[in-house]
């Protein structure tokens, strides 16, 4: 699939943006007293830095779209995004959030990309009474990982929009059934917030859905040797493997899996958290052709982003034209987060009133690049009011048929997101000869 319908020159002519260098604080309109300052903390360097690749592009597009300000409650406000980099370190993420809250006079916080980012930022906001909206970390990891208690108002300031266990079960049960296999699934799960949530929620749910799970136990992020897991999967005869590693850890595992005979045994290699971005696959070369994953955003999602003034197809092609890089999932997810926070600010009627903004988040209904979000229904059957579920599609990384990129990401399963069209038929993984 090629999304390069907008050239870099055409993109600049249309939108007047040039991304020669990222702007870390870029005012869009107006005087300080009439300006809404949105803090945005995320990983823009370190092992998770790829999640932040699209942020400069989105900030530029946001500024262009809202250069004349936004009218809320009969008053026009300027908009400004203040960026902070966690450097992929949870401790630093917490400190950056606190520094931003105390020193940058922000009115609202947004954050995205894995529990290692979202949770410490949300905790800092909860402690400071700062309204915070986040995405791109399973909602259970956000909620239970921070001590949330269903049925209680555990958090007053922090809200989260993302997929969770039920979405994975729906997705995997459909996607894994598209290729004949013995229903034996090897689970490669790290010892971290994501891993703990997955082991507690997803694994039992998959077992209840009829999948036989082989879980050799947790491993530490940054591990250099996966032989114990590989041998356990081989001995059990698994034909499906699902993993949730830090992005740099997957190539280590997968090369060892190929060398030690596991890759040849597998029909499906399902990646989550890793394998979301084209550069990861390019680093694997032909070993990456045919790998499977879930996607929380894709250019074929039939939605648009009001915050940056683009359809999802335009988001992908615009990012490619502006950056010279292939589109990635987080570009659309972050656009969706910007859509939601704008809607919350408008719903509040008083965007400089933090309590009013937090209250608006608790009852937010909004159309976003990810699709509709609705906090009034909550998660877990309504028992968790601080979270709302977004949806996933099943995808497969294939060799690009045309265009400038090595890989294309095809939608092969849409049971969890039926409004998204399929773009290809799923095939079994085949180890390159």
The predicted pLDDT at position 33 comes to 62
Q: What is the dihedral of CA 29, 33, 34, 40, to 10 degrees?
A: 70
Q: Mapped to the 3 state alphabet, what secondary structure does 139-171 carry?
A: HHHHHHHHCCCCCCCCCCCEEEECCCHHHHHHH
- Closest C-alpha among 272, 168, 188 to residue 233: 188
Which segments in the chain show pLDDT lower than 50? 1-31
Angle between helices 90-103 and 115-128 (to 10 degrees): 30
Domain boundaries, the chain: 8-163+299-388, 166-295+392-413
**Amino acid 13: pLDDT:** 33
Structure confidence at residue 194 (pLDDT): 80
Going by C-alpha positions, the residue among 372, 255, 344, 276 that lies closest to residue 54 is: 276
Question: What's the pLDDT score for residue 193?
Answer: 80
Supply the pLDDT for residue 63: 96
What CATH number is given for 8-163+299-388 in this structure? 3.40.50.2300
Copy the structure tokens of residue 96: 């950056």
Measure the CA–CA gap between 315 and 332, rounded to whole angstroms.
7
In the prediction, which pLDDT does 32 show?
A: 59
Q: Are strands 184-188 and 212-214 parallel, antiparallel or unpaired?
A: parallel
* Burial class (CB within 10 angstroms; exposed 0-12, middle 13-18, buried 19+) of 353: middle
User: pTM for the complete prediction?
Assistant: 0.88
- CA dist 62 and 301 (Å) reads 20
pLDDT in tens, 406-431: 999 999 999 999 999 999 999 999 99
Which CATH superfamily includes the segment(s) 166-295+392-413? Response regulator (3.40.50.2300)
pLDDT in tens, 279-297: 999 999 999 999 999 999 9
Check if the beta carbon of residue 357 is closer than 8 Å to that of residue 364: no
Contact between 384 and 366 (Cβ < 8 Å):
no
């Amino acid at each position: 699939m090629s999304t390069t319908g907008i050239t870099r020159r055409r993109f600049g002519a249309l939108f007047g943006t040039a991304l020669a260098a990222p702007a870390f604080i870029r005012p869009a309109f107006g005087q300080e007293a009439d300006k809404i300052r949105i803090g945005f903390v995320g990983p823009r360097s370190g092992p998770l830095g790829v999640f932040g690749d699209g942020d400069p592009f989105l900030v530029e597009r946001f500024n262009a779209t809202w250069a004349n300000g936004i009218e809320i409650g009969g008053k026009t406000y300027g908009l400004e995004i203040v960026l902070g980099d966690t450097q992929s370190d949870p401790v630093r993420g917490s400190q950056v959030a606190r520094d931003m809250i105390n020193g940058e006079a922000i009115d609202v916080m947004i954050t995205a990309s894995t529990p290692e980012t979202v949770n410490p930022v949300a905790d800092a906001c909860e402690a400071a009474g700062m309204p915070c909206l986040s995405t791109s970390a399973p909602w259970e990891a956000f909620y239970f990982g921070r001590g949330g208690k269903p049925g209680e108002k555990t958090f007053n300031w922090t809200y989260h929009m993302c997929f969770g266990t039920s979405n994975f079960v729906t997705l995997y049960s459909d996607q894994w059934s598209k290729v004949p296999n013995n229903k034996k699934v090897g689970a490669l799960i790290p010892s971290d917030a994501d891993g703990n949530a997955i082991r507690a929620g997803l694994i039992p749910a998959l077992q209840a859905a009829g999948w036989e799970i082989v879980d050799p136990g947790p491993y530490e992020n940054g591990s250099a040797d996966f032989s114990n897991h590989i041998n356990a999967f081989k001995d059990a005869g698994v034909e499906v493997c699902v993993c949730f590693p830090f992005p740099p850890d997957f190539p280590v595992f997968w090369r060892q899996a190929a060398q030690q005979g596991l890759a040849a045994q597998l029909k499906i290699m399902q990646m989550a958290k890793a394998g979301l971005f084209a550069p990861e696959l390019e680093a694997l070369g032909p070993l990456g052709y045919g790998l499977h994953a879930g996607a929380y955003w894709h250019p074929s999602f039939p939605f648009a982003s009001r915050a940056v003034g683009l359809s999802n197809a335009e988001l992908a092609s615009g990012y490619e034209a502006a950056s010279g890089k292939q589109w990635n999932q987080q570009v659309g997810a972050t656009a969706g987060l910007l859509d939601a926070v704008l809607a919350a600010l408008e719903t509040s009627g008083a965007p400089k009133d933090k309590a009013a903004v937090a209250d608006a988040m608790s009852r937010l209904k909004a159309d976003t690049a990810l699709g509709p979000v609705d906090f009034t229904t909550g998660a877990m059957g309504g028992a968790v009011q601080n979270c709302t579920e977004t949806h996933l599609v099943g995808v497969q990384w294939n060799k690009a048929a045309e265009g400038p990129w090595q890989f294309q990401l095809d939608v092969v399963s849409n049971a969890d997101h039926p409004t998204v069209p399929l773009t290809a038929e799923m095939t079994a993984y085949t180890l390159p000869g």
